[in-house]
Chains A and B, each alone.
Chain A
Amino acid sequence: MKNVFGKIISAEEACALISDGSILMAGGFGGIGSPPTLIDVLVNKGTKNLTLICNDTGFPHIGVGKLVSAGSIKKVIASHIGSNPLAGKLMTEGKMDVEFSPQGTLAERIRAGGVGLGGILVETGLDNEIVNKGKGVVELDGKTFLAETALTADVSIVYAKKADEFGNLIFDKSARNTNPLVAMAGNVTIAEVEEIVALGELGPDEIITPGIFVQHIVQTKGVEWKWVWE
């Protein structure tokens, strides 16, 4: 591979961009579509005090759950932590902050950050005292909405099926999930991919995430965890 745009780097070089205390956003849903190699390097490096933004906290040995298990996470913004009992334990013991955001709201907050908006107006959770706590209420066209802030990250990590050298991405089936949204919302976005191909090998019509949103590309070593159903 020619590496025309210099975007192809090693997983170690990529993870050097993530420091203790960084705001890290990760693609994936229940671990599916989370970048396994980058997560492993972060775990092995002993990265600490991360704020993690992700749909959920995976399972203890799957996806971003490995970062929770390694004690790398100070705060998480997610819609669900139920599949990771350790996350619940750390939250209850006050060792990890958890901000719950309804799943569709969370997806749109990430998308809003990714597309350069300041926030979104939603009805979800408007009259729910846990969700609406501390948030503004906006009247617009005779309707009442909850104002939810947009989310961006120091670094976003995503998992894709293929990238070309520019970082144009296509995803695999339901492993797409939050990845296209997360890819747009990072100040720096690292795409871990199953296959890197030359420019021109991906059809412009099939590209889901244009490479403009992707600064770095890492070849995956593949998933080495056992899925819950295995």
Chain B
Amino acid sequence: MGVGMNSREKMAKRAAQEIHHGMIVNLGIGIPSLIPNYLSSDCSVMFHAENGILGMGPTPGVGEENAHVCNAAGYPVTTVAGSSYCDSAIAFAMIRRGMVDVTVLGALEVSEGGDLANWIVPGKRVPGMGGAMELAERAKKVIVVMNHCNKNGESKIVHKCSLPLTAKACVNLIITDQAVIQVTKKGLLLTEVMAPYTIHDVIRHTNAPLLISDHIKTNE
């Protein structure tokens, strides 16, 4: 992959392009938490945390952490000017009322129709859905950021999810280490490939039919 960004950073950088000034944004743990590093300084957004912060700021420096200012994963954050705290019911009122503009989540599987599975692998991993169901159902735009294939090299983009769903037909955009794919009414539309992968690689690694955009571009 050469020098520079690893695939996690590339995905985060690409997802950051979907976030615009003035938005309310909820980021999942893992790769999505890297996204703020790639927002331009003139892009002011309010980051929402479902444990009850609206207006999260960057990670504090070592020694500056406050155990009572943490994100939904339990890790220290800071707050920005204009931020507020609330209880969990109000934090979810913001989600349920459709006030979150964008949520960026990880996934285990995404289907051709935009179904999302990201909360349980029965008998193996039982993390629980946390706030993912409400976010997936109610955020205005749902972006999945994930590796294109699982550890066994199998496509995580599938015709039909085999794992229990988090929410049906909720995903709008899929960003992987190999491609950017829109979920449209006609099906999955490949709009970008991530170098060094090619259109051919992406088609071969995707276990669902792909429409190819007429204006496909390559992200270096």
Contacts and interface: CB of A to CB of B under 8 A. Distances in A.
Interface of A: 29-33, 55-56, 59, 62, 78-83, 88, 91-92, 98, 100, 102-105, 107-108, 110-111, 123-125, 127-131, 171-181, 208, 223, 227-229
Contacts of B69: 173-174
B135 to A, nearest CB: 9
Contact of A80 (B88, B95, B129): B129
B133 A32 contact: no
A31 B105 CA distance: 22
Given A83-B74, A108-B92, A128-B133, A172 B87 contact: no
Interface string B72-114: 1111100000000111110110011000000000000000000
Given A91-B126, A228-B75, 15 more contacts: A29-B52, A29-B72, A92-B126, A102-B131, A103-B88, A104-B95, A105-B134, A107-B88, A107-B89, A108-B92, A173-B66, A175-B68, A178-B88, A227-B74, A229-B76
Interface string B114-147: 0000001001011111110110010000000000
Contacts of B134: 102-105, 124
Interface in B148-174: 164-168
Contacts of B49: 174
Interface in B57-78: 65-70, 72-76
11 contacts: A29-B72, A32-B70, A80-B127, A81-B128, A82-B126, A98-B126, A104-B134, A130-B120, A131-B133, A174-B51, A227-B65
A83 B159 CA distance: 31
A30 B73 contact: yes
Given A56-B128, A78-B128, A82-B127, A111 B89 contact: yes
A103 B67 contact: no
Contacts of B76: 229
Interface residues of B, number: 42
B15 interface: no
B75 to A, nearest CB: 5
A128 B51 contact: no
B94 to A, nearest CB: 10
A217 to B, nearest CB: 19
B177 interface: no
A21 B137 CA distance: 36
A163 to B, nearest CB: 16
A75 to B, nearest CB: 14
Given A80-B129, A102-B129, A174 B92 contact: no
A79 B65 contact: no
A130 B91 CA distance: 24
Given A81-B126, A176-B87, A227 B96 contact: no
Contacts of B68: 32-33, 172-175
Contact of B86 (A59, A110, A111, A176): A176
A229 B66 contact: no
Task: Sort A-B residue pairs by CB-CB distance and give the 7 closest, nearest first.
Answer: A82-B127, A104-B92, A30-B74, A80-B128, A103-B131, A175-B68, A80-B130
A56 B126 CA distance: 12
B106 to A, nearest CB: 12
A56 B130 contact: yes
A178 B76 CA distance: 18
Contacts of B88: 29, 55, 103-104, 107, 177-178, 181
Nearest to B119: A100
Nearest to A129: B164
A174 B128 contact: no
A181 B87 contact: yes
Nearest to B77: A174
A102, A171, A180: residue with the most chain B Cβ atoms closer than 10 Å: A102
